[in-house]
Amino acid sequence: MKISIIGAGAMGSLYGGKLSIAGNDVVLYDINKAHVDMINTKGLIIEESSTGEKTTSWPLASSDPQDVSGSDLMIIFVKSTATEAVAEQFVEYAKSETIALTLQNGLGNEDILRDYFGAGRTAAGVTSQGATFLGPGEIRHAGNGPTHICMSDKNNNKLKEVVKVFSDSGFEIHIEKNIADLVWSKLVINVGINAVTALSGLENGKLLDYPDMKSLMADLVNEAVMVAEKKGVKLSYADPLQIVYDVSEKTALNRSSMLQDFDRGSLTEIDFINNAIVREGGKLGIATPFNSAVSKLVRSIELVNRSRKIENAK
């Protein structure tokens, strides 16, 4: 099977590297030239956090979109802010039977892919795998967990070969009849953590040291749960807020992706996380003032950070 990873950051490299080790024809597409060049020169090094063991894989790394032509599976791992751009760019390189699979965070990526690839060639998933980008050509496999996937047209027979390939590569993989509930279950956790870490500059676990931050996390999560319940979503846990606190504690030293975006002066995925709650709440007539305020703050700081980045580059 030819598999292309669109967006070879930490998670994309993890999947691409392990799929390559299992003998698949893998292309890691990314615009990070240093990362691409290092992989092609010295291979992709995957360090296992649990043992410290390092394995080198040799997928093809490329910044040339034409190298993904003929892929049976395209796994989308770019930031959600880039999903539409890459969907528009890469749909022309897909075959009539190519499946585009999103394993990204946030709400709305499946809808974007479906607009370009159609429901019959779009799949969505949720993964509990964890990875950290250590530098060009090297990542750390930070945590194992299941991956759940589903075709947008619900014809999951198309995913049988994908499941076999993932399983043979060491990933726990499951086909779901309704992926939306799992997408929302992960979304609620991200709603309660990511923006708060970005605004505070703190690692996940340190949020729990401050009563006001814990209270803000609760306000954000409660709004998300109200919207989810009104939509008929069945979350995969009974106590959403406690789950958010538990995840913060279990990932105590992690700097969330949104905080790392602030570090780099990059755009965040706020519109696909907290602001997604605002949008969905608006459709249902549910007020979401805390998620609205946090979204406005994050977007404003994005502008400040980008302005500073431009000034410093002069």
Encode pLDDT of 278-302 as tens digits. 999 999 999 999 999 999 999 999 9
CB atoms within 10 A of CB 135: 10
CB atoms within 10 A of CB 308: 11
The arithmetic mean of pLDDT across residues 148-174, rounded, is 96
Q: What are residue 141's DSSP bridge partners? A: 48, 131
pLDDT above 90 for 273: yes
Residue position matching structure tokens 């609205």: 292
What pLDDT band is residue 8 in, cutting at 50, 70 and 90? Answer: very high
- For CATH 3.40.50.720, the residue range(s) in the chain are 2-177
- Listing DSSP states for the chain in one string gives -EEEEES-SHHHHHHHHHHHHTT-EEEEE-S-HHHHHHHHHH-EEEEETTT--EEEE--EEES-GGGGTT-SEEEE-S-GGGHHHHHHHHGGG--TT-EEEE--SSSSHHHHHHHHH-GGGEEEEEE--EEEEEETTEEEEEE---EEEEETTS-GGGGHHHHHHHHHTT--EEE-S-HHHHHHHHHHHHHHHHHHHHHHT--GGGGGG-HHHHHHHHHHHHHHHHHHHHHT---SSS-HHHHHHHHHHHTTT---HHHHHHHHT---SGGGTHHHHHHHHHHHT---HHHHHHHHHHHHHHHHHHHHHHHHH-
Name the average pLDDT for the chain.
94
pLDDT above 80 for 228: yes
Q: What is the pLDDT of residue 278?
A: 98
The arithmetic mean of pLDDT across residues 40-46, rounded, is 98
Distance CA 288, CA 280 (A): 10
Distance CA 164, CA 292 (A): 42
Q: What is the pLDDT of residue 128?
A: 87
- Asked whether the whole model's pTM tops 0.75, one would answer yes
As a whole-number percent, the residues of the chain with pLDDT over 70 amount to 100
Q: Which CATH class is domain 180-313?
A: mainly alpha
Say which residue, 106 or 49, is predicted with more confidence: 106
The CATH number for 2-177, chosen from 3.40.50.720, 3.40.50.1820, 3.40.50.300, 3.40.1030.10, is 3.40.50.720
What pLDDT band is residue 241 in, cutting at 50, 70 and 90? Answer: very high
The arithmetic mean of pLDDT across residues 8-25, rounded, is 96
Nearest to 126 by CA among 107, 113, 143: 107
Distance CA 213, CA 133 (A): 27
Nearest to 190 by CA among 274, 82, 102: 274
Q: What is the pLDDT of residue 250?
A: 86
Q: What are residue 6's DSSP bridge partners? A: 29, 76
pLDDT above 80 for 314: no
What pLDDT band is residue 308 in, cutting at 50, 70 and 90? Answer: confident
Q: What is the pLDDT of residue 272?
A: 96
Specify the pairing of strand 25-29 against strand 60-62: parallel
What pLDDT band is residue 170 in, cutting at 50, 70 and 90? Answer: very high
